Each structure stands twice: as structure tokens, then as C-alpha cells.
Structure 1
Amino acid sequence: MAETGYDPKRSKVNKDKLDEFVQRDIKGDLEEVPGIGPAAVKKLAEPDAQGNPGITTTYQLIGAYLSLKNSECDPVSHNDYFWYWLKEKGISSHRSGIVQCIAKKCNSFMPGLYDPSMYESDDEEE
């Protein structure tokens, strides 16, 4: 089965680590984001095909996430856009976990950006 966008069920981030990340202050080091390690830091730092500079801080990563939000996209589409953006940057591991961490962090100071209930299916209620 092919991966198609963000799905919180594919996140492998430990709930405690996720909660800790959402609650603590941002320091700027990309590796503070659960799911981002040295290989992802290197890929994010590379300029894109249009010559835009790479992402080197957590602040810039949050900015990239927010830049993909427009008034017409719902939280699910927004998280999908970010998931695909990470894929384009070459992030092949922990993509859903990174999306979940950044989305929940941003939702903590901008409520409405992330709604986990939008990912629940009727199958889960049975």
C-alpha cells in the first residue's frame, strides 16, 4: 500500500516525547523535534530547486509549516501539504511523526490548526 499524505497512525513518536515537545520552549535546534535526526537536518538544510535557502532551525520549520496554510485548506489538507513538502525535501523517515509534532506545537499557540478527531474513522468506534 502506497503512502498517501499524513496519517497520525503512522507516527512512531512516543506520546510522552510528543507532549514534552509541545509543552516546552523552542530552542531552535532542529533535533529538538522528535523524529528529526542528523540525516534529516542535513536534508532540510539543502536549498530547494528554486534556490530558496534550506531550513536550519525549528523556527524556520514552523514557518515552512505555516506558509503552507491558506484560508481555503482544512487541517487535514494542510498537514498533507506539509507531509508532501517534507517528502520533497528528501525526508523519508518519521515524516508523519514530524508533521504531528509541528502541527500539535503550532496548534498549542494557534488553536484550530490541528484537529486529531478529523483522522478518526467510523471503524475505530466499533
Structure 2
Amino acid sequence: MLDTIDTFHIDIIDLCRIVGILIDNAHEAAKDSKEKFISIVLIQDEYLNITIANSYTKSINISSIYKESYSTKGKNRGIGLNNVKEIIDKRYPNVLLKTSVEKDIFIQDLYIKAR
């Protein structure tokens, strides 16, 4: 069943950039994993919740992933999630990004509250 997503207070270019980085990271991690799993779910209630979950194999330090230059992919990487955090922190008090790991699945939950 397809529903229209209501208008939420976030610039469409910022939303595309954030979601693009999260999906790109999920794809890169999943393609190197045994399971090669990615799930993208959109749920709308008082928030628009975009959940991106993926399989992974490399050890991830969740407390460091938003720091500039932190990467599990080698040197000269690690700007994407730092950019995501800066966009959200500087422009959108109505947006929350929650990161977790459950049963070898890396999960990014993006919550965008309507104003």
C-alpha cells in the first residue's frame, strides 16, 4: 500500500544528502559482508522515520563513527557521517539520528518531526 508522505520540515537537498550517505554506507558495508543484506523502511506517524539496516563484517565503534576521518574502510575516508551529523546539528533541531547494532545488523534510524 502506497501513501503520500506529508511535508516535514527539512530541506529536500539536505534530506537527499543525508539519506544518500546512509544508503551508500549501508551498501558498502553489506557488499563486503557474508549476508549482503540491506533494508530501507519508511514509516510515518508524528515523525517520518527512515530506517536503514544492513549486514556488516568489520568491527564498528559506534561512539566514533561521526568523528571526521573515522572509517572502517581505510585512510582518507570518514567524512560522510561527519557531514550528516553537522547538517542535522546545525540546521534541524527536529531531526534525530539514532545508531544501533542488533544481532549483527547495523541500524540507522532517522526521525524527522513535523512542525
The two structures have a TM-score, normalised by structure 1, of 0.27
Higher share in strand: 2
Higher relative contact order (CA 8 A, sep 6+): 1
Higher share in helix: 1
The two structures have a TM-score, normalised by structure 2, of 0.29
